[in-house]
Structure 1
């Protein structure tokens, strides 16, 4: 497991991007639960954010790809709108402890 960040660095309804060992990742917290995905849109293979740590739509309820506007469910990574509907972001195993958020690469 690789350390991503302290729990306080990923706020509820917030998102952050990471580059760990050359792999681009994103983490989102929803209702206290953290979700970690590979930062790569299944449509074109491009990173999702439009500026650093900006992965959510205006309502902070969906992950949004800045390139073509695809929308993904935070809890599962499933694309529910846009050019890759039916595909999903690649989820990564993660856990949280008193130190913070960890991801299994």
Structure 2
């Protein structure tokens, strides 16, 4: 596993989410949500349709800010586990990404990139 800097802890407000383009990508391939002071991170990938979850940048939560919501079909996921609790993918889960909280900030732990053949 390799560590990649995500942001500072205070850069994500309580009850909010934020998308991140990792590995030099241009769109948010991952996102993090702060719930009860804890940070939870996931791949930005709906297990039902394989699409990104947000409808606008950083818009990953329902209107109440309580659940992660897929903008395409409205599936709802628990922020603390990624489990789908409503919608066509009920029982499936988002892919979690381990987060490390250090004095330097928040880091996600990602698999090493595969080496490209020479």
Q: Same fold by TM (over 0.5)?
A: yes
TM-score, structure 2 as length reference = 0.86
CA positional deviation for 1:33: 0.1
Matched, 1:78 2:83: yes
Structure 1 segments unaligned to the other structure (5+ residues): none
**Aligned partners of 1:3, 1:35: CA distance in 2, in Å?**
14
> Which deviates the most, 18-27 or 66-75?
18-27
Question: 5 Å matches for 1:92-103?
Answer: 92-103=97-108
Report the counterpart of residue 27 of structure 1 in structure 2. Answer: 32
Report the counterpart of residue 13 of structure 1 in structure 2. Answer: 15
**Aligned partners of 2:22, 2:84: CA distance in 1, in Å?**
24
**Aligned partners of 2:50, 2:30: CA distance in 1, in Å?**
13
Matched, 1:65 2:70: yes
Q: Deviations over 1:22-64 (max 9, x none)?
A: 4700100001000000000000100000100010001111000
**Aligned partners of 2:38, 2:60: CA distance in 1, in Å?**
16
Which is higher, the Rg of structure 1 or of structure 2?
2
Matched, 1:46 2:51: yes
Structure 1: 4+ residue segments shifted above 3 A = none
- The structure 2 residue matched to 1:36, chosen from 30, 41, 56, is 41
TM-score, structure 1 as length reference = 0.96
Tell me the SS of whatever aligns to 1:20.
Answer: coil
Aligned residues: 105
